[in-house]
């Protein structure tokens, strides 16, 4: 198989990375994609760094065995913990693209108020995130918000309704009197509850700029494919998407395709 015709591999701790894959399908419609979610071991955000690294490398080996030409680690936690080691091992073979909280566009927004960064506890504790904070934390306006339990809700298929809204109301209850400029969705699962989030903060009388790292990650993927002349030649046919998951159940695969098709 010609290198350009090989699929692009996407990995996440579960179904969250599908939010990034959705952007990739839009921006690179002629490419083929293979997605692997490790829902059996989700969430990564409550595990030790060593365990996250072990699980990430195991998943990447599965994708490499599917003859991929590039790898997107569409998981903030896995990127924080493992991206440097992945590049040391595989960068000579293929482009390795990670994702991180979209703090830069949130800071550039220039709107008055706090910048809330929703992420898993592990992502917020890793040095990669702390270095990102130091880079942009020119004042006290950046507020990390750990969200334990939110990934589990999304993995179970609950992305809207009373349970998700109740969770978000509890998280934001301490910010009722706080002006919020932006909300950064620092986990690839979180865009799937964006509708519920908009409703909850709207009921609090707030209208923040809500952003995630999907577009930036996919644009970087496209740049790397062009750089190494690996991009698939446009044709009449759109690319394909194959989804695999460590749970290997009809329920999780059906949920994955459903989330991929959500507007």
Binding residues: 12-13, 44-45, 76-77, 188-189
Q: What distance in Å separates the CA atoms of residue 54 and residue 50, rounded to the nearest whole number?
A: 6
Residue count of the chain, please give it.
263
Q: What are 191's two structure tokens?
A: 């865009």
Q: What distance in Å separates the CA atoms of residue 76 and residue 80, rounded to the nearest whole number?
A: 6
Task: Name residues whose C-beta falls within 8 Å of residue 172's C-beta, 6 or more positions apart in sequence.
Answer: 200, 201, 204
The three-class DSSP label of residue 40 is helix
187 is known as an active-site residue: yes
174 is known as an active-site residue: no
Among the options 63, 74, 187, 252, which is catalytic?
187
Pick out the residues of the known binding site for substrate. Answer: 12-13, 44-45, 76-77, 188-189
What are the φ/ψ torsions at residue 143 (nearest 5 degrees)?
-120, 105
CA atoms within 13 A on the CB side of 18: 28
| DSSP state, residue 7 | P
Nearest to 263 by CA among 198, 199, 196, 195: 195
Among the options 42, 72, 75, 99, which is catalytic?
75
Residues designated catalytic = 75, 187
């Amino acid at each position: 198989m010609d290198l350009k015709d090989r699929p692009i591999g996407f990995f996440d701790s579960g179904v969250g990375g599908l939010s990034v894959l959705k952007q990739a399908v839009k921006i690179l419609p002629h490419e083929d994609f293979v997605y692997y979610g490790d829902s059996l071991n989700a969430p990564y955000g409550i595990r030790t760094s060593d365990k996250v690294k072990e699980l990430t490398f195991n998943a990447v080996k599965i994708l490499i065995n599917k003859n991929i030409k590039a790898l997107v680690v569409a998981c903030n936690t896995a990127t924080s913990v493992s991206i440097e080691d992945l590049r040391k091992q595989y960068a000579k073979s293929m482009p390795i693209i990670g994702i991180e909280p979209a703090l830069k566009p949130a800071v550039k927004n220039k709107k008055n108020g706090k910048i809330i960064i929703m992420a898993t506890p592990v992502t917020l504790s890793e040095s990669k995130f702390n270095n990102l904070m130091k880079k942009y934390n020119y004042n006290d306006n950046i507020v990390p918000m750990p969200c334990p339990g939110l990934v589990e809700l999304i993995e179970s298929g609950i992305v809207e309704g009373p349970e998700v809204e109740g969770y978000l109301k509890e998280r934001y209850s301490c910010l009722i009197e706080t002006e919020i400029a932006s909300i950064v969705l620092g986990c690839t699962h979180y865009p799937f509850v964006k509708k519920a989030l908009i409703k909850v903060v709207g009921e609090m009388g707030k209208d923040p700029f809500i952003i995630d790292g999907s577009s930036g990650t996919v644009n970087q993927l496209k740049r790397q494919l062009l750089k190494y002349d690996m991009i698939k030649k446009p044709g009449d046919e759109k690319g394909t998407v194959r989804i695999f998951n460590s749970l290997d159940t009809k329920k999780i695969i059906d949920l994955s395709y459903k989330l991929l098709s959500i507007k």
